[in-house]
Structure 1
């Protein structure tokens, strides 16, 4: 039968954006469906106190770029909007170490480190990767930690997706021979994670999606895919019918779209949730591995607020430096732009302990012993100006499993290894070292204190690669087992623990998957 599109891509993050460009270049008719809104530089909030533009909470009519999802074992920060996580991420583009390519369910499918090498290079080029040229107070604090720990050689500036031209000076596209949009240089305001208002951040709508649209790809925002059904043949060989509805309106009509192929690129929270739903009814041939092998990068987030008024920890790019603390771990400095102090509402003094009673007791003791210091953090000094968030990550592995309850909501269970924890000994020691280096006090998300739940911005897995349908959801080319012309290309495909910010890796694997698809023939 005739279909409206060759491919419908569900989500416009790193995997979906790569797919849109490469398929449109090969002559396919492509539609990208994005749950979030379109954002231009002027649309981003000046600070994160503007909840309506910062947070994604549709029931409250908040249609911003950041979503916070809380599960029993993990709290997850993710992105929404055309460009997906690139709108809210910290721009950092590291390559994982060798262990990543040789572990997990995908390890024997390909010599991945060698196979993906050219695709990593292409991803770096497309994302406009550049070395951060300036270190600021927060970075210098991390450098001091490296010196104190006698690992100075392990400290380095980050490689980031930022245009370091002349601040506030607009110039013609510097990346794609004039085919891309005009750009302006970074001002080092630190506000990357609330949305770049200066046209310097290389978000996906500045590269992959921009070029895809020039090739004829269509993008519809503020729409959510609620069903995918195969047409006639159970395996989708005769195409699919995709059902969407508005994600920003309470009263709306569903829309049906027909397509030869479908690519799921809604991130773990979008793709896995949808696949779990579809497996119950519309796509029953999906692997039983859907929802398994969920990884959190073994992360912790601990905030340290300096007490020196002369310092300004909000200056710089969102993550300007990194310290490789050992072969399995590293530490990064995260910052928010000056005035973005809303996170303090979710912070309590950082304490550790095996149960909630002991942690609450320790919290009260800290407040009693240091009332002036904490009063300054919460009521006097600007939180973002005086605070950095220490992002600690490990390649050491443990997995969760996401399931769907009778109400259609996802929930988490522990699958292998220990449950994620916000109290990793190495991160505790590093937080102490950083606190000493800048003369500060530490806080953390209240969920860590009250419930022992860690936070992550890098949830991965749930539709991993495998040799067959019994070991994975997709094959080594990202094709979904059991269905024709169906793919998963986003963080859900990541099949082992990278231990670093995963955006570059998602982009590289997406490039590899698209390279396997031939050009369209008439």
Structure 2
């Protein structure tokens, strides 16, 4: 039987770093099949929000398109056991790692969630057909105009985004707010308490759209579907099938055009120009245990990079450093941010709070007139949180930016984040987050209970007496930037210095989506890019 004794945080970091460093060496020892080559009109690397949009719109335009994805497919099974769970983690919980993010020892497997240990920050990335949509909470959150323009230049017309591209994404994802009968159930007590606490503090509090099937969640409550979302299972996938992940909408529709082929378990390694034709992508086809089965090269006329901020940036930074794409400009690898992510735990609340139930989420408190800076605070149901506790995740606009660098000694790309040195990350975001939670705590104090908030950027500890300064290490699940609009690319994702080379994912975004979850804006920008590219570039 697999030993699942939890590691400590330090053990996790050490093991993850060691495994990451040795991964390519171990993969290189697998028995290789003979390298193969193929040629396609359009190649998309990655199947997250940008890649899924690109695949669908290219397919609908009649363009023969190949999409490669490093992870495997994750179809919902009749037995409702597709994914690992927080309560019973196994290899499906992590991407080629001997431990989960939470430190549980597991077999090495091509699971859904990668933890990348970078310089100054840890980054969570989805892996699988559907990308980050497999592991996100489903929030479909549009930034208001003012905050949109705190991040993006005026060259991107918010009115057009609001009128055309956000609704276009909404029509495919079909998000909605939690129905009142579900909200009234005991499983969603934490949501009702959260909304009341925001209102009692005088802050705008409301339900948000989520890309979930609320009828399936209703079936979870009724006992006809396996309990998943209602008991706080979300990061590793939702076994009931409640999550409307991209493999069930954009990508499924793309394949239905007959023009799009998806190749799972294909990991892109290098990109280079083929003069007079387009681009060549080298990739490794791997098995479910990370061993290389075949090395391939794929040539294409049109190349769409959608491997996420971390993957797309790494490919471009490597190509610039090694000379395979020498005309890339000096903005490649810059303008990276963590979306102002902050995790906080609120304790000392009157019981019960049911803090581990009612997922994957429902609501937001918007403190946009915070004198220290705007912030949005969302409830984050956490399966093992103690009663009297609520976990939240919040988004601000980061005041610092990171950058990617190429290491010539290892042949790898590393993100460098300007951590303050004591594990608290962005000092401005930490300060404004604490200010917001002090207001919540003060306004919700009653005679017998004094709520206290432990703001911890990346901390997952639950302490009876919160340590207000106690951040363990910085963490983000929303990496943004590295090939930013208007700098590394034009305002439609065309990479500067090259024709028919495009970035259509979170790498386009300069570090923040204006105090919101990024997925909705990533997809809307991709829709905007593809509409222009198809109209002007593809003949």
CA offsets 1:124-148 (integer angstroms, 9 cap, x no match): 1111111122432222232232233
Structure 1: distance between partners of 2:92 and 2:240 = 16
Match in the other structure for 2:197: 145
Distance change >3 Å, CA 517–CA 335, structure 1 → 2? same
Q: 1:275 aligns with which of 316, 319, 323?
A: 316
Give the whole-Å Cα distance in 1 for the aligned partners of 2:332 and 2:453: 38
User: What does 1:389-408 correspond to in 2, within 5 Å?
Assistant: 389-395=391-397, 397-406=399-408, 407=410, 408=412
> How far 1:269 moved relative to its partner?
1.0
Which stretch has the larger CA shift, 241-250 or 125-134?
A: 241-250
Alignment-derived partner of residue 5 in structure 2: none
Residue in structure 1 matched with residue 430 of structure 2 by the alignment: 424
Q: Does 1:512 align with 2:518?
A: no
CA distance in structure 1 between the partners assigned to 2:315 and 2:173 by the alignment: 28
TM-score (norm 1): 0.78
1:469: which partner in 2?
none
Question: Which position in structure 1 is the counterpart of 2:361?
Answer: 319
Note the alpha carbon deviations across 1:169-218, whole angstroms, 9 max, x for none: 69xxxxxxxxxxxx999963432322111112110001000011111211
Partners of 1:421 and 1:453 within 8 A in 2: no
* Aligned position for 1:332: 378
For residues 37 and 51 of structure 1, the distance between their equivalents in structure 2, rounded to whole angstroms, comes to 16
What is the deviation of 1:446? 4.7
1:37 Cα deviation after fit: 1.6
Shift of 1:94: 0.9
CA deviations over 1:1-40 (Å, ceiling 9, x no partner): x973111111000000000001000001111111112112
What is the alpha-carbon distance in structure 1 between the residues aligned to residue 162 and residue 217 of structure 2?
35
Supply the RMSD in Å over aligned alpha carbons.
3.2
Task: Give how far 1:70 is off.
Answer: 2.5
CA distance in 1 between counterparts of 2:48 and 2:508 reads 13
* Pair 1:280–1:521, CA change in 2 (3 A): closer
Q: 1:103 to 1:320 in 2, by over 3 A?
A: closer
User: Does 203-212 or 43-52 show the bigger shift?
Assistant: 43-52
* C-alpha distance in structure 1 between counterparts of 2:450 and 2:74, whole Å: 39
Separation in 1 of the partners of 2:150 and 2:436?
Answer: 27
The partner residue of 2:92 within 46, 53, 74 is 53
Deviations 1:94-132, CA, capped at 9 Å, x for gaps: 11122344345x514343443553110011111111112
Distance 1:132 1:274 in 2: 39
Matches within 5 A, 1:266-305: 266-281=307-322, 282-304=324-346
SS in 1 for 2:210: strand
**Secondary structure of the corresponding residue to residue 520 of structure 2:** helix
How many aligned positions are there?
Answer: 452
Determine if contact 1:318/1:335 at 8 Å carries over to the other structure.
Answer: yes
Work out which of the residue numbers 191, 211, 226 in structure 1 matches 2:253: 211
Corresponding residue for 1:411?
415
DSSP-derived class of the 2:533 partner: coil
What pairs with 1:413-492 in structure 2 (closer than 5 Å)? Answer: 413-414=417-418, 420-421=426-427, 424-431=430-437, 433=440, 444=456, 445-446=458-459, 453-466=473-486, 472-492=487-507
Report if aligned partners of 2:366, 2:375 keep a CA contact under 8 Å in 1.
yes
Larger displacement relative to structure 2 (448-457 or 251-260): 448-457
How many angstroms does 1:409 deviate by?
3.5
Q: Contact (CA 8 Å) 2:216, 2:242: kept in 1 or not? A: no
Distance 1:405 1:447 in 2: 31
Structure 1 residues without counterparts, runs of 5 or longer? 171-182, 342-382, 467-471
| Residues 198 and 518 (structure 1), Cα distance of their counterparts in 2 relative to 1, 3 Å cut | same
Deviations 1:324-357 (A, max 9, x none): 0233111101114x4xx4xxxxxxxxxxxxxxxx
Relative to 1, partners in 2 of residues 1:204 and 1:502: Cα closer, same or farther, differing over 3 Å? Answer: same
| Cα distance between partner residues in 2 of 1:415 and 1:429 | 20
1:143-170 residue CA offsets vs partner (Å, 9 max, x unmatched): 232233122xx11111110112255769
2:243 counterpart residue number: 201
* 2: CA distance, partners of 1:484 / 1:318: 41
Contact preservation (8 Å) 1:167, 1:184 = no
TM-score, structure 2 normalization = 0.76
Specify the SS of the correspondent of 1:514: helix
2:155 to 90, 105, 109: 109
* Alpha-carbon distance in 1 for matches of 2:532, 2:38: 23
**Partner residue of 1:22?**
57
Matched position secondary structure for 1:230:
strand
Are 1:497 and 2:512 an aligned pair?
yes
2:117 matched to 1:70? yes
SS at match of 2:378: strand
Q: Is the 8 A contact 1:92 1:158 kept in 2?
A: yes
